[in-house]
Structure 1
Amino acid sequence: MAEATTRRDTLGLATRVKALAVANPVLDLDRRKSQRVTHDWVGYQMEELALTAIDTVTLKMDFEDGVRQEDVIEAIARVATLQMPDRDEAEHLEVAGWVLDGLISVGTVNRDFEHVYGVAIDGRYVSHSFAFKLLREISGADGRPRLRASNEAIAVLVGAVDIDIASEQVAADAKLEALVRRGRLTDAYRAAEMALRRTVQYAEHIRSGLEQMRRDVRSVDWSRDVQRMQIEALEHIEDRIKAENAIKDNLVQMMENSTEEATPQQAAELIAILEECLRRHAALQANLQEVGEQFRAEQERQVFVPPPSRSHVDLENQLLHPVLELSIGQAGPLLDRFVNAASAPRRPEVLYLPDLITGLMTPPADHDSDDDLIVDPEFADTEDAAAFSDGQYAAVEALLGRADTAGVRLSTLLRSARDQDAAQLDRPRREHLLALHVLGLFGAPRLDPSDGTVLSAQADGVALDDVTFAGDDLLLVRRSVSDAALAEDRLNDRLRETV
């Protein structure tokens, strides 16, 4: 009997040690702020900022998704502004980011906090390592990171670790109901906030169990683990919905019968919290009703997943340290091959012209009803901005006028365009306009009716040697109409002989 009592006391001691360990990262923020020699953050109360971060994530996250880091940093910065109003906004945001990094445990390999505790079993003291997270990052629906609060983080808010969450939630609702019945709405508001956090904690507890099933369906048993948890959770949620609806009805009656101004406002605030609890219970209930289908789907999916064929790569010892001993020339090709082998194949985002034309030519689908809001667009009169000025066109035409029967190279014209005025700001655009004109003359010669000549560009296999453009160094030639026709016939005969 004495041994049993001793063992119970020891296990209770270990539970309380865990509770202290969970609170230690929050308290450690205030100790570490004095170690920052480049910032004077003495006036900030880091524990309050950390609890603000945990509270924000806890109340804003839902069953599937988390909270954006920007929203959490904004909430922390608002409290930091109240603590130190004489500091600027940039410092408030920097403090908020530092607090959030501390709660995520940025800088550690697995983002875990660890604490060693012991349990005396059969006269022996056995040490155990307690690893936990406060805020953890997940991938959101859009692929961007989101934050979720762990059970341990919510335990920091409600003040307990290693307890039966369902029982504590029942107790929280019972306390809230007793306070409402006695008319102590100020105390009831604090109890309602605690009940809401218990609701979030219970949903996170259920979600963690389901997430283990999604990772490895072979690690859980359907009838012993999953189905039992589903039945117990659904019964618990049903009881909570009934209890919270009863409290809500009492508050509504209190609002209707009260003659004081403060009571209806306090009751309305309590009703808002209870409605949030009911909404979260309904979402959790909907997810629990799909557990059976999810379990069968995971069985079908995971049964065909082959076991890993190779072990994980130790990036630090197997890659980083050997590469640091090599020169840049030696390490570059090795790292390129590693990245190509380790990265998943990704389809390049290339525009496929037939798909684009099909999408543009497809008429819009007809709606079944005319209930949709039709907005008539308003078009304003705008003028198209010219890509090139009249002076640039005139300068290019003057350069094209140098072409004669002997021909002039595109490279020569480009050098002439650059030598005209080296300090002129529109020179790069004039060069592009010249290249476009010459390229157009290559496919479509231009007839000048005034003197009966044809201006064309020809490719004779000479490469263009230029700092800006590449390709063939086209030969710009001006011939009479008859000579141009004769040259075209010769070119066609040469092409037919080649074929």
Structure 2
Amino acid sequence: MRDETGEPVVTVDEGLSRRAKALACTAPLHELDAHKGMIEWAEAKTYLMAEIALYTIDQVAITMDFDTGAGHQHIQERVQRFVARQAPQRPDQEHARITAWVLGSLINLGDVDRAFRRPYGAVDSDGVYRVRTFDFKLIEERRDEAGKLYLRASHEALNVLVGALDTDVESAQVAAEVKLDNLIRRGRLVDAKQVAEQARIRTIQYGGLIRVQLEATKRNVQAVDWREKVPDLLDDALAHVEERVKAERAIAKYMAEARDEAEEPVRKSRAAELVDIVEDCVRRHIKLHSHLIGARDLFQEQQDRQQFSGTPQRQTLDLYGHLLMPALDLPVADASGLADLYFTESSGPVVRDLPDLAALVPLLLRPAPERTRFAGEVPEPDLETLQERKRFTDHQWVLANALLELPDEVRTLSGLLDEAAALDPELVALLALQAYGPQTGTALRRGDDRVLLAVHADADLDSQGFEGDDLLLATARLVDPATADHPAQTPKNTGGDNR
């Protein structure tokens, strides 16, 4: 097609976009081999990471069923045996870590929503080429009704696994089974096994398409076209399943006869593997058939349930994926306007208090409420008498004061503590420390005529568990300055010359 000037017109090419998306699905597998040199805890260059990733997707796809998935531990054990074949001389611990690293990379644990993002170009209907982002997953983590995590291979992962991208599932499976039957009759069991494995993946993929429609129905009946699209899909699926079950049973019967008649061990083993794969396809088709039969009943149940469940709630905004990441790709001027608009709209309107004359006048003219003189009856508190707990008894105080009564002599603290061993040396030591800085003013106000004094002694103290500097203790007589000029009124000196 050319325009008026004779130049070719760029038209919309959907096939180009599909191939670009298909190529993007293989990028995470190539990145595993590109980044394996950055692993510090193992010499990972020996391992072929893309093959390990394909084998992991294969095991998850084979293990999962219509409404169930594969367990982490089960996949870990099966893939670890494959990893050990690539490097049998390496320890089992390294094999386990390589398996966990590949599985975590396929789940994309480093991303918030566990999705891979790859840019691709597309020409719009108006002829403008735009760069868009393709979001996809390879292995998804989901929870069952009991809350236990399980793994499922995504639609994109199944496409990567079988190597047939953007292909009609039903047509591809019919073609695969015709090819399988032809290879079996020609005796090419190795090629027949590969085709049978691809046919099984197509069976899983076809069940996944039906499963997506049923899950969407459980969430919101109005989001699924149950008037034309889904009923036609169910009718086509039922006819497809019935035909495939008949064809697969015939192939399984023929292979069972070939297995029993084979004399070579290798041929017998390959025939047995083919029988297992085809019988697994039959089992999956029968289970899919049961879900297809009950799909319309499921629609009726969900319609009745959701009719009385209220208005569907809107999906919560993902600030990281819906706002932050797109805003980082924009110029500063455009991003700031987008952020201002979001925060303005998300904060909501502010309700202001406006004065209303009709409501304000009655409030101002309302008589003041009558105040009571008393606030009410005061409850009687329940008081408990606290008993004073003395550290030292009265008898210990009497003995300690008698021991420290030193009117005519000077004693060391160490000697007094030895004598107080039978009493309480701690009380004697406390009184001696108080005597090192005596409160003479307080003693005079109380009317005491003497006070205990303590001074530093040039000796060490080590008695009754007390250590430090020893003290010299003596009792000094107190003289009131007001009566110092009247000797007749001065009390007798009962403490000697200690002043």
Query: Where on the TM-score scale, by shorter chain, does this alignment land: which range?
Result: 0.5 to 0.7
Residue 228 of structure 1, aligned match among 226, 232, 235: 232
Counterparts of residues 6-45 of structure 1 (less than 5 Å): 10-45=13-48
CA contact (8 A) 1:175 1:191 kept: yes
Q: Secondary structure of 2:13's match?
A: helix
Return the offset for 1:38: 4.7
Q: Secondary structure of 1:254's match?
A: helix
- Select between 150-159 and 140-149 the one with higher mean Cα deviation: 140-149
Counterparts of residues 345-494 of structure 1 (less than 5 Å): none
Residue type of the alignment partner of 1:144: K
Match of 1:336 in 2: none
Residue type of the alignment partner of 2:291: N
Query: What is the TM-score normalised by the length of structure 1?
Result: 0.59
CA distance in 2, matches of 1:311, 1:241: 40
Matching of residue 206 in structure 1 with residue 210 in structure 2: yes
CA distance in 1, matches of 2:157, 2:11: 26
Return closer, same or farther for 1:258/1:131 CA change in 2, 3 Å cut-off. Answer: same
Return the offset for 1:203: 1.2
Match of 1:175 in 2: 179
Q: Secondary structure of 1:107's match?
A: coil
Match of 1:88 in 2: 91
Return the offset for 1:274: 0.8
CA distance in 2, matches of 1:216, 1:280: 27
- Select between 37-46 and 93-102 the one with higher mean Cα deviation: 37-46
CA distance in 2, matches of 1:308, 1:200: 31
Match of 1:184 in 2: 188
Residue 303 of structure 2, aligned match among 299, 302, 310: 299
CA distance in 1, matches of 2:10, 2:192: 38
Identity of aligned residues (%): 41
Residue type of the alignment partner of 1:111: R
Return the offset for 1:23: 0.8
Residue 52 of structure 1, aligned match among 55, 59, 62: 55
CA contact (8 A) 1:234 1:288 kept: yes
Return closer, same or farther for 1:34/1:258 CA change in 2, 3 Å cut-off. Answer: closer
Q: Secondary structure of 2:227's match?
A: helix
Match of 1:438 in 2: none
Match of 1:103 in 2: 106
Which has the higher Rg, Structure 1 or Structure 2?
Answer: 2
Match of 1:251 in 2: 255
Match of 1:404 in 2: none
Match of 2:70 in 1: 67
Return closer, same or farther for 1:316/1:281 CA change in 2, 3 Å cut-off. Answer: closer
Per-residue CA shift, 1:130-149, capped at 9, x if unaligned? 21110001112431100000
CA distance in 2, matches of 1:291, 1:7: 44
Return the offset for 1:197: 1.3
Return closer, same or farther for 1:42/1:255 CA change in 2, 3 Å cut-off. Answer: closer
Return the offset for 1:295: 0.7
Matching of residue 153 in structure 1 with residue 157 in structure 2: yes
Q: What RMSD over aligned residues (CA atoms) do the two structures have, in Å?
A: 2.6
- Select between 182-191 and 38-47 the one with higher mean Cα deviation: 38-47
CA contact (8 A) 2:12 2:127 kept: no
Matching of residue 143 in structure 1 with residue 136 in structure 2: no
Return the offset for 1:122: 4.8
Return the offset for 1:262: 4.5
CA distance in 1, matches of 2:194, 2:160: 16
Per-residue CA shift, 1:196-220, capped at 9, x if unaligned? 1111111112212222222211111
CA distance in 2, matches of 1:304, 1:153: 38
Match of 2:293 in 1: 289
Return closer, same or farther for 1:223/1:136 CA change in 2, 3 Å cut-off. Answer: same
Match of 1:126 in 2: 130
CA distance in 2, matches of 1:128, 1:315: 19
Q: Unaligned regions of 5+ residues in structure 1, if any?
A: 318-499
Per-residue CA shift, 1:422-469, capped at 9, x if unaligned? xxxxxxxxxxxxxxxxxxxxxxxxxxxxxxxxxxxxxxxxxxxxxxxx
Match of 2:424 in 1: none
CA distance in 1, matches of 2:268, 2:84: 32
CA distance in 2, matches of 1:185, 1:9: 43
Per-residue CA shift, 1:61-107, capped at 9, x if unaligned? 01111111111122222122222223222222111111111101112
Q: Secondary structure of 1:142's match?
A: coil
CA contact (8 A) 1:29 1:47 kept: yes
Residue type of the alignment partner of 1:222: W
